[in-house]
A and B are shown apart, each in its own frame.
Chain A
Amino acid sequence: MKRFGFAGMLLAATVLSGAASAKTLVYCSEGSPEGFDPALYTAGTTFDASSNPVYNKLMEFAPGTTNPEPGLAESYEVSDDGLEYTFKLRPGVKFQTTDFFTPTRDFNADDVIFTFERQLKADNPWHQYVAGAAWEYFNGMGFPDLIETIEKVDDMTVKFKLKRKEAPFVANLGMDFASIMSKEYADKLQADGKMEQLNQMPLGTGPFEFVAYQPDAVIRYRANDDYWKGREKLDDLVFAITTDAAVRYQKLLAGECHVMPYPNAADVEAMKANESLTVMEQEGLNIAYLAYNTTQAPFDKPEVRKALNMAINKQAIVDAVFQGAATPAKNPIPPTMWSYNDAIQDDPYDPDAAKKMLEEAGVTDLDMKIWAMPVARPYMLNARRAAELIQADFAKIGVDVEIVSFEWAEYLARSKDKDRDGAVMLGWTGDNGDPDNFLHTLLGCDAVGGNNRAQWCNEEFDRIVNEAKVETDQAARTKLYEEAQVVFKREAPWATLDHSLVVMPMRKEVQGYVMSPLGKHHFSGVDIAE
């Protein structure tokens, strides 16, 4: 039976009262956006409120996939040496006309150059327009060292010159930090002395335009009438910020919102049983792993790492920590990512064989440390619990485990250390849907002492991922990454633990919602049945 609260009844009444009234979708979001300039931040919650509804990028990800496709760029060409990318821009794209700004011209090359130069050039007046602007993703993806110049060829053509070949460049342009800003709007804000407003009242070319934000409470958007892909079916989009998952669930039941992210794992069964709700599920673009320190004995031997991996009951971790809302991982990249090598067989869970392998490798009475994160992450909800399970698993093969933990920032800093003692539990959520973002970023030789927590530098693996990084042919890249996964499995620098499932409960009347493997929540193309 449907239960409606007071607000729910009003809302339902509006929806049901015919075509004349506005179609409003309410999304119970999990937190407040940090701001509305996506280039300043790295949090998905912020992107959901800024880049996803309001902005477009030169490249966008095809709905439901991690494949980049043309967005504000109509097409692009790569020079033979792989160093020049020339983008033909989409003509006739209009910036949003809102209560706070009316554009006088269409989108053009100036907007693209402004978008990137403000992040790239320290002397750009927008480089420090808010205190402590760190352009975290632009820097994190290595753009300052990659981009030589950005040139305006003509009004509708832009050329990026790169310092080196970089195949994931195109996918990177689909990331949130690459959201195309209006230079005209920025110029006006600068002239009015209100530059900080760029981070408070966003204006782009996207499907929904920003209306208002009541801090920590409500964000309102309305459909962009001039949207270049056609006006959305929804008239209004409202984010009701609701931080507690149990309360979000109650709101969904009461009809106070239509869609909610991140339910409590314990509630999912009841949600699936409720006939007024639809529950969508998809593997997240993430991995949780246990990285051995491969520079230290006996973990420098692949057979020892392999033996330990065989002693871990991953299914038990998935059941205990996620109540089933995750899948055991066999590869370092998630199954939703292109080039995922499904032909690889996972090491079987076999404590007896594991014990034997350890003995054969001459390892007896092994003591080791396992690091457990102090915080819940999407890929690992309870690291302590998982570490305890692994501790028990290892005890069965005669390995004595001590679990250690630190405050989160401290944990991240200390776990990078090459001389670190112990295996570190950590994980990763993909940034751009490109396998390079996992395989090279987390396991490449130049990430040792940084993101490469296993401190693992394997010549063969490194050669393959570096080759794939500069190869622009997608089919050839796929083959290389498949090969890299085979090497990874053989060498076992990590115990791959799980890929968590992303669960999206919504009311039955919501139609056309497509889950994004990149973890974005966007409402373009969504409708509400009357």
Chain B
Amino acid sequence: MLRFLVGRFAVLIPTFIGVSIIAFSFIRLLPGDPVMLMSGERVMSQERYEKITQELGYDRNIVIQYLDYFGDLMQGDFGTSLVTKKPVLTHFSELFPATLELSLCAILFAVLLGIPAGVFAAIKRGSAFDQTIMGTALVGYSMPIFWWGLLLIILFSGILGWTPVSGRISLLYYFPSVTGFMLIDSLLSGQAGAFKSAVSHLILPTIVLGTIPLAVIARQTRSAMLEVLSEDYVRTARAKGMPPLRVIGVHALRNAMIPVITTIGLQVGVMLAGAILTETIFSWPGIGKWMVDSVFKRDYPVIQGGLLLIAAIIMLVNLLVDILYGLINPRIRH
């Protein structure tokens, strides 16, 4: 197992360097100039333009700029935002918990509903239940997130008044951020009603962000289950007279889980992409919205640093998925 882990880690290093090069050059390939954007319609004199460009070091050779940047990275310095003048890492640590909290809730929502739905659909293959579930999944998969989010807001917040429109917690509650996770912080604050408010604020964004993963997981679970259910060992288990629940729960599901876990791992990446839209609709102060704003402002350090940090997280999740495979299926370890 240790060798397996070391091997996996070793692959991460060149990947990380590769991502840092891509992140660095990608934003510079886009047309646009952060210094020019600072002044907008108001024309900046050529001297001032050159002075600021020089101060920011953007007049130097691009390779030297990169090496400089990489050197800083090695010391844990991800740079400073051109706009807010705050370190990128500080921003990230302030905003990431919000994204993580929402993503965890969404993935939990997707897994808890998606796997049972897929399993039942597979067992009742061809039934009305199966067709309804798969039809709904297809609709869910094709839903434009922005439209879906606004629809839910208008229905549940506007017309029915059941949920708040946006934000993480009612503005009445104000307490310092301890962990950055609103569910935990609201409990720690000890203020009556704070936790309930945080939960009510999470409902709609969780549903919106979890919809596509839910659809994907349900479909994946169903097809994996169908495949496994037709295997010889399942038939044998049934023939032996094993209780149906045990056949499905232990023999079939466990083997069907391998592709499903891969899918869940991949959905984490999808989720970070989906978070950009979900966060914008629900005014959720996470990294998705932060990154998009930075692209518009050509805030180079934030885009580079943000991309790298997100890539690092996705790599870690993939590593985790690999380890999980190993645990579920010992053959993969070798």
Interface of B is mostly: loop
Whole-angstrom distance between the alpha carbons of A207 and B285 in the complex? 27
Tell me whether B317 is interfacial, beta carbon within 8 Å. Answer: no
Give the distance to chain B from A257, nearest Cβ to Cβ, in Å: 9
Chain B residues with Cβ below 8 Å from A247 are 150, 153, 165-166, 281-283
Q: Are the CB atoms of A136 and B39 closer together than 8 Å? A: yes
Closest to A3 in B: B161
Contact with B along A26-48 (1 / 0, CB 8 A): 10000110110000101000000
Within residues 68 to 86 of chain B, which ones have a CB less than 8 A from any CB in chain A?
A: 80, 82-86
Chain B residues with Cβ below 8 Å from A427 are 41
Tell me whether A7 is interfacial, beta carbon within 8 Å. Answer: yes
**Looking at the complex, which one of B36, B52, B91 makes contact with A215 (CB distance below 8 Å)?**
B91
Tell me whether A250 is interfacial, beta carbon within 8 Å. Answer: yes
Whole-angstrom distance between the alpha carbons of A5 and B45 in the complex? 51
Tell me whether B289 is interfacial, beta carbon within 8 Å. Answer: yes
Known: A240-B167, A250-B153, A256-B164. A216 touches B285 (CB 8 A): yes
Tell me whether B158 is interfacial, beta carbon within 8 Å. Answer: yes
Q: Which of B115-123, B168-176, B208-216, B223-231 contacts the other chain?
A: B168-176
Tell me whether B32 is interfacial, beta carbon within 8 Å. Answer: yes
Whole-angstrom distance between the alpha carbons of A427 and B42 in the complex? 10
Q: Are the CB atoms of B283 and A241 closer together than 8 Å? A: yes
Tell me whether B232 is interfacial, beta carbon within 8 Å. Answer: no
Chain B residues with Cβ below 8 Å from A139 are 44, 48
**Looking at the complex, which one of A32, A218, A253, A408 makes contact with B158 (CB distance below 8 Å)?**
A253
Tell me whether A140 is interfacial, beta carbon within 8 Å. Answer: yes
Chain B residues with Cβ below 8 Å from A297 are none
**Total contacting residues, chain B, CB less than 8 A:** 60
Tell me whether A426 is interfacial, beta carbon within 8 Å. Answer: yes
Tell me whether A416 is interfacial, beta carbon within 8 Å. Answer: yes
Central interface residue in A133, A247, A410, by most chain B CB within 10 Å: A247
Q: Are the CB atoms of B161 and A5 closer together than 8 Å? A: yes
Give the distance to chain B from A520, nearest Cβ to Cβ, in Å: 17
Give the distance to chain A from B147, nearest Cβ to Cβ, in Å: 11
Chain B residues with Cβ below 8 Å from A200 are 86
Known: A11-B172, A412-B41. A256 touches B290 (CB 8 A): no
**Looking at the complex, which one of B40, B163, B177, B281 makes contact with A214 (CB distance below 8 Å)?**
B177
Within residues 185 to 210 of chain A, which ones have a CB less than 8 A from any CB in chain B?
A: 196, 199-200
Central interface residue in A4, A5, A408, A447, by most chain B CB within 10 Å: A5
Whole-angstrom distance between the alpha carbons of A377 and B157 in the complex? 30
Tell me whether A134 is interfacial, beta carbon within 8 Å. Answer: yes
Closest to A250 in B: B165
Chain A residues with Cβ below 8 Å from B164 are 5-8, 254, 256
Could you say which interface size class chain A belongs to?
Answer: 35 or more
Q: Are the CB atoms of A132 and B56 closer together than 8 Å? A: yes
Closest to B172 in A: A10
Contact with A along B201-244 (1 / 0, CB 8 A): 00000000000000000000000000000000000000000000
Give the distance to chain B from A288, nearest Cβ to Cβ, in Å: 11
**Looking at the complex, which one of A7, A14, A131 makes contact with B80 (CB distance below 8 Å)?**
A131
Known: A196-B85, A242-B166. A450 touches B171 (CB 8 A): no
Tell me whether A238 is interfacial, beta carbon within 8 Å. Answer: yes
Tell me whether A153 is interfacial, beta carbon within 8 Å. Answer: no
Whole-angstrom distance between the alpha carbons of A215 and B93 in the complex? 11
- Give A contacts to B, CB under 8 Å: 3-8, 10-11, 14, 24, 26, 31-32, 34-35, 40, 42, 130-134, 136, 139-140, 196, 199-200, 212, 214-218, 220, 238, 240-244, 246-247, 250-251, 253-254, 256, 377, 406-410, 412-413, 416, 426-429, 431, 447, 450-451
- Give B contacts to A, CB under 8 Å: 30-33, 36-45, 48, 52, 55-56, 80, 82-86, 91, 94-95, 98, 150, 153-154, 157-159, 161-168, 170-172, 174, 177, 193, 197, 200, 280-283, 285-286, 289-290, 293, 298
Q: A242-B283, A256-B167, A431-B42 are in contact. List 5 more A-B contacts (CB 8 A).
A: A133-B85, A139-B44, A217-B283, A243-B289, A412-B41
Closest 8 A/B residue pairs (Cβ): A216-B285, A130-B85, A217-B285, A407-B31, A7-B170, A409-B36, A450-B43, A242-B283
Q: Would you list 25 pairs from A and B whose C-beta atoms are within 8 A, ordered by A residue?
A: A5-B157, A5-B161, A6-B162, A10-B172, A10-B193, A35-B83, A42-B42, A132-B55, A132-B56, A212-B174, A216-B95, A216-B289, A217-B168, A220-B174, A238-B171, A244-B281, A250-B157, A251-B165, A256-B167, A408-B32, A409-B36, A413-B36, A416-B43, A431-B42, A451-B41
